[in-house]
Amino acid sequence: MTALDRDELQRFLDTEFPQTTVRVESVGNDFARVRQEIGEAHLRPGGTVSGPVMMSVADTATYAALLAQIGRVPLAVTTNLNIHFLRKPAPDCAIVAEANLIKRGKRLVVAEVRIYSEGHPALVAHASVTYSIPPGS
């Protein structure tokens, strides 16, 4: 397994998941920080960022943190994502997610993800995400 740096990881996501607009800002030891610019298409009625957008950002942050450690394993998949929406995100700020891998086993990886509106210190959501790593990876 060869770890991926931020640029390699972003190229991998751009190639394998061209539909995503989440950008990798940084990766480190069991860590990744990602960013999603927010536009009108990301808002739900009431002018708040939709739940699916924040879930996608949490999932992508975890995937980035994992692949930064284990390398290109496209078939690593989400097996669980639990999210708590804590407060209304700012509709005119990017969403930033910071994932920390808190347990890395042979087949399962668990992460904690903290989600913010950029420039605001209060959490807008908190997620726990579990990924399954395919055998032989």
- Return the SS3 of 79: strand
Name the residue range of residue 50's domain. Answer: 6-132
Cβ neighbour number for residue 62 with a 10 Å cutoff: 29
Q: What is the pLDDT of residues 69-83, one digit of tens each?
A: 999 998 999 999 999
Residues 6+ apart with CB under 8 A from 130: 78, 79, 80, 81, 108, 109, 110, 111
Q: What is the pLDDT of residues 2-41, one digit of tens each?
A: 889 999 999 999 999 999 999 999 999 999 999 999 999 9
Instruction: Tell me the CATH number at 92.
Output: 3.10.129.10
Give domain status of residue 12, yes or no. Answer: yes
Q: What's residue 1's pLDDT?
A: 62
CA–CA separation, 69 vs 21, rounded Å? 22
Q: How many domains does the chain have?
A: 1
